[in-house]
Amino acid sequence: MTRIIETIEEMREWSASLRAEGKTIGYVPTMGYLHEGHLALVAEAHRVSDVVVMSIFVNPTQFGPNEDFDSYPRDLPRDAALAADAGVDCIFAPSTEEMYPADGGIRIVPGPIAQQMCGASRPTHFDGVLQVLLKLFNIVSPTDAFFGLKDAQQVAVVETFVRDFNVPVRIHRVPIVRERDGLAKSSRNVHLTEQERKEAPAIYRALQAGKEALETGMSPHEVKRQVATEIERDTSGTIDYVELLDYPSLGEPTEDRERILACAVQFPTVRLIDNVIIKGSEQR
Ligand code: PAF
């Protein structure tokens, strides 16, 4: 039976009682409209924790003024059924009023790691992500928290924040889950038109081809150009960025260290992101 908690007070009390029993709490933060990517996070949380808590909250502070906050897909009964099947012990599903009763104007400013890639076109996105995550960590009080690598920049920003601010939670990276044709699973995929859905797997194909080209000696500049050209040729989307950076610092890439080849593609109503990680020569 999955317990559904809507208030901060009840969530805190339940968490404190579990902690008092010596239980570890694995936490999966989500914005709902669950798919297999979220369920992979739950499976990993089960593997390392005694109890699994999932939050479902579409966080307004991480959306820009002209972004898809209002149209973001929401269906709590559907999510609750999927979470129950996956063995989630508790869903924390607060209202916006519960999470943000007042705004004192204090913000977390994540710095350069949040300014390129998605941060370049969504300048306040990661401020909002860290704001809500700090609140959620303080409410759920997890021992471990699980994040999908589709949002690889988010993982890098959260890991850096947790390290720099000594937030007492262990962060776990979970690999991307893909559709059979390669498209990375995302709650936003439901908003793709039939034609866009047919085109979208080209994004992963282009990234994979870019990774292979890089590994066989093509220059980073040429690789980025090739990825952008293939996506522009095979989809009707507009490239927001194609980046090749060190991972997870998101600094200058070097061959000996892990790198990320990542892109964002804007379709009329959906923005898709995807990435591949390339092992450094030191790790092969
Ligand atoms: O990745 C997401 O779904 C969100 O950014 C998160 C981590 C739940 C914060 O709102």
Tell me the CATH number at 11. Answer: 3.40.50.620
Going by alpha carbons, the residue nearest to atom 5 of ligand 1 is 129
Going by alpha carbons, the residue nearest to atom 3 of ligand 1 is 30
Q: Is the pLDDT of residue 100 over 80?
A: yes
Q: Are residues 22 and 158 in the same domain?
A: yes
Q: How far is the CA of 60 from the centre of ligand 1 (A)?
A: 11
Q: Are residues 59 and 25 in the same domain?
A: yes
Which pair of structure tokens corresponds to residue 58?
């579409």
In this prediction, residue 282 has a pLDDT band, given cuts at 50, 70 and 90, of: confident
Is the shortest distance between the CB of 93 and ligand 1 below 6 Å?
no
Q: Are residues 80 and 113 in the same domain?
A: yes
- Domain-embedded: residue 179: no
In this prediction, residue 225 has a pLDDT band, given cuts at 50, 70 and 90, of: very high
> Best mutation site among 151, 172, 177 for ligand 1, i.e. most ligand atoms within 8 A of its Cβ?
151
Q: Are residues 134 and 263 in the same domain?
A: no
As annotated, the active-site residues are 38
Q: Are residues 165 and 42 in the same domain?
A: yes
Measured between alpha carbons, how far is 236 from 153 in angstroms, rounded to an integer? 25
pLDDT single digits (tens) 265-274? 999 999 999 9
Which pair of structure tokens corresponds to residue 14?
């339940």
Identify whether the C-beta of residue 182 lies closer than 8 Å to the C-beta of residue 210.
no
- Domain-embedded: residue 137: yes
Q: How far is the CA of 164 from the centre of ligand 1 (A)?
A: 20
pLDDT single digits (tens) 181-209? 999 999 999 999 999 999 999 999 999 99
Which pair of structure tokens corresponds to residue 94?
């607060």
Average pLDDT for the chain? 97
Q: What is the pLDDT at residue 1?
A: 86
Q: Are residues 198 and 57 in the same domain?
A: no
Residue with tokens 């009763």: 101
Comparison of pLDDT for 1 and 244, the residue scoring more:
244
Sorted by sequence, the CB contacts under 8 Å of residue 73 that are 6+ apart come out as 32, 33, 187, 188, 190, 191
Q: Is the pLDDT of residue 133 over 80?
A: yes
Going by alpha carbons, the residue nearest to atom 2 of ligand 1 is 30
Q: Are residues 59 and 161 in the same domain?
A: yes
Sorted by sequence, the CB contacts under 8 Å of residue 194 that are 6+ apart come out as none
Q: Are residues 202 and 87 in the same domain?
A: no
How much is the average pLDDT of 60-79?
97
Q: How far is the CA of 239 from the centre of ligand 1 (A)?
A: 23
What atom in ligand 1 is closest to the CA of residue 55?
Answer: 8
Q: What is the pLDDT at residue 284?
A: 66
Sorted by sequence, the CB contacts under 8 Å of residue 104 that are 6+ apart come out as none
Q: Is the pLDDT of residue 93 over 80?
A: yes
What atom in ligand 1 is closest to the CA of residue 129?
Answer: 9
Q: Are residues 255 and 125 in the same domain?
A: no
Residue with tokens 């490239």: 239
Q: Quick check: bond before 65 cis, omega within 30? A: no
> Best mutation site among 129, 149, 172 for ligand 1, i.e. most ligand atoms within 8 A of its Cβ?
129
Final residue of a domain: which of 174, 200, 227? Answer: 174
Q: Are residues 92 and 191 in the same domain?
A: no
In this prediction, residue 283 has a pLDDT band, given cuts at 50, 70 and 90, of: confident
Is the shortest distance between the CB of 59 and ligand 1 below 6 Å?
yes
Residue range of the domain that includes 211: 187-272
- Domain-embedded: residue 201: yes
Percent over 90 (pLDDT), the chain: 98
- Domain-embedded: residue 234: yes
Is the shortest distance between the CB of 151 and ligand 1 below 6 Å?
yes
Is the shortest distance between the CB of 189 and ligand 1 below 6 Å?
no
pLDDT single digits (tens) 236-268? 999 999 999 999 999 999 999 999 999 999 999
Which pair of structure tokens corresponds to residue 182?
């390669």
- Domain-embedded: residue 281: no
Domain count, the chain: 2
How much is the average pLDDT of 221-232?
98
Q: Are residues 75 and 195 in the same domain?
A: no
Is the shortest distance between the CB of 32 and ligand 1 below 6 Å?
no
Q: What is the pLDDT at residue 113?
A: 97
What distance lies between CA 32 and its chain's CA centroid?
12
Identify whether the C-beta of residue 88 lies closer than 8 Å to the C-beta of residue 52.
yes
- Domain-embedded: residue 181: no
- Domain-embedded: residue 278: no
Q: What is the 3-state secondary structure (H, E, C) of the chain?
A: CCEEECCHHHHHHHHHHHHHCCCCEEEEEECCCCCHHHHHHHHHHHHHCCEEEEEECCCHHHCCCCCCCCCCCCCHHHHHHHHHHCCCCEEECCCHHHHCCCCCCCCCCCCHHHCCCHHHHCCCHHHHHHHHHHHHHHHHCCCEEEEEHHHHHHHHHHHHHHHHCCCCCEEEEECCCECCCCCECCHHHHHCCHHHHHHCHHHHHHHHHHHHHHHCCCCHHHHHHHHHHHHHHHCCCEEEEEEEEECCCCCCCCCCCCEEEEEEEECCCCEEEEEEEECCCCCC
Angle, CA of 256, 210 and 270, to the nearest 5°:
120
What distance lies between CA 31 and its chain's CA centroid?
10
Q: How far is the CA of 72 from the centre of ligand 1 (A)?
A: 12
What atom in ligand 1 is closest to the CA of residue 59?
Answer: 10
Q: Domain of 210: which CATH number? A: 3.30.1300.10
Q: Are residues 205 and 152 in the same domain?
A: no
Is the shortest distance between the CB of 28 and ligand 1 below 6 Å?
no
- Domain-embedded: residue 9: yes
